[in-house]
């Protein structure tokens, strides 16, 4: 177990992915409009990015807007688009200074051209940063990602016998990013909601009832401490069982 400041040192996950859920309920519980919850959630994201840098997490993927979120009321969708734009305008310089490399996963062409330009500019500016890779899943759906990959493979004339796990991985939005070691979902829902459905094959899960705007550094540390105690077997056996076959 880690002390009060750092999570269990030896087993920090390389890649953490977060389903940042519960902004709406957080706002509702305070009698505020849902968009106030999204703004509070954005504030919290800043804290968690800092914590990742501090704890030595190398990749952070955040689920910010799903392909299904277009089905929300117009006002909320517009508000979420506005928040994305605002975050890029206000935070980019600071993130760049901190060594954060921004990447986007999802269908960029489905967004407003002005936002597309800002996202591409942020990616270009930060592309050589090495401290933390921040993958923003915006207009992202796991099924959509697989459809895009299959289409591209067909366009490229890939032959059936060439298709293997490594190749599929290269055609996904997450090409070059290791699979998530730990997926965190806030606000208690026990579902994947179309997030990283290929990449999550062997990820560890941590679900907490805490709403995303309240998921602070201490809560994050708890998640990392829990992860450090997990026994990842990938379909094999634990080291201790391998050493003592009589206990298998
Ligand atoms: C997550 O919070 C953020 C997005 C999906 C954009 P929600 O907006 O889903 O909050 P709840 O689940 O309604 O509380
Ligand atoms: C998942 O949360 C998407 C994001 C966090 C961006 P949702 O709130 O959209 O998921 P469901 O509808 O509860 O499954
Ligand atoms: Mg939700």
**pLDDT reported for residue 5:** 62
Specify if 5 maps to a domain. no
Residue 2 placed within a domain: no
Q: Tell me whether residue 21 is one of the annotated catalytic residues.
A: yes
The model carries a pTM of 0.94
Q: Is residue 205 in a domain?
A: yes
Number of structural domains found in the chain? 1
CATH number at residue 44: 3.40.1180.10
Q: Helices 74-97 and 113-126 sit at what angle, rounded to 10 degrees?
A: 20
* 3, 4, 21, 78: the active-site residue: 21
CB atoms within 10 A of CB 144: 18
Ligand 1 atom nearest 25 alpha carbon: 14
Segments forming the whole domain that contains residue 180: 15-247
From the CA of 142, the nearest ligand is 2
What average pLDDT does range 11-20 have in this prediction?
A: 98
Does 86 participate in catalysis according to the annotation?
A: no
59-66 β-sheet, strand order: 100-105, 132-140, 59-66, 15-19, 182-186, 204-208
248 has pLDDT over 60: no
For 64-85, how does the pLDDT look when each residue is reduced to its tens digit (9 = 90+)?
999 999 999 999 999 999 999 9
72 within a domain of the structure (yes/no): yes
Mean pLDDT of the chain: 94
Annotated catalytic residue within 4, 23, 69, 86: 69
65 in contact with ligand 2, CB cutoff 6 A:
yes
Q: Look at residue 19 and tell me if it is in a domain.
A: yes
Whether ligand 2 lies within 6 angstroms of the CB of 21 is answered as yes
């Amino acid at each position: 177990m880690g002390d009060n400041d750092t999570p269990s040192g030896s087993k920090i996950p390389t890649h953490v992915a977060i389903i940042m859920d519960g902004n709406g309920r957080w706002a509702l519980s305070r009698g505020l409009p849902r968009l106030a919850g999204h703004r509070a959630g954005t504030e919290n994201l800043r804290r968690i990015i800092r914590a990742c840098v501090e704890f030595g997490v190398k990749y952070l993927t955040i689920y910010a807007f799903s392909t299904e979120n277009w089905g929300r009321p117009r006002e909320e969708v517009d508000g979420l688009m506005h928040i994305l734009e605002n975050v890029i305008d206000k935070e980019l310089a600071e993130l760049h200074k901190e060594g954060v490399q921004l990447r986007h996963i999802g269908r960029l062409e489905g967004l407003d051209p002005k936002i597309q330009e800002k996202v591409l500019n942020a990616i270009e500016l930060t592309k050589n940063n090495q401290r933390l890779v921040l993958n923003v899943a915006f207009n992202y759906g796991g099924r959509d990602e697989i459809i895009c990959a299959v289409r591209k493979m067909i366009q490229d004339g890939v032959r059936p016998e060439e298709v293997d796990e490594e190749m599929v991985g290269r055609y996904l939005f997450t090409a070059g990013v290791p699979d998530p070691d730990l997926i965190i979902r806030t606000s208690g829902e026990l579902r994947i909601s179309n997030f990283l459905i290929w990449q999550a094959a062997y990820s560890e899960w941590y679900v907490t009832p805490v709403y995303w705007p309240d998921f602070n550094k201490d809560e994050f540390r708890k998640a990392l401490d829990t992860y450090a105690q997990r026994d990842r077997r990938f379909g094999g056996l634990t080291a201790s069982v391998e050493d003592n076959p009589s206990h298998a």
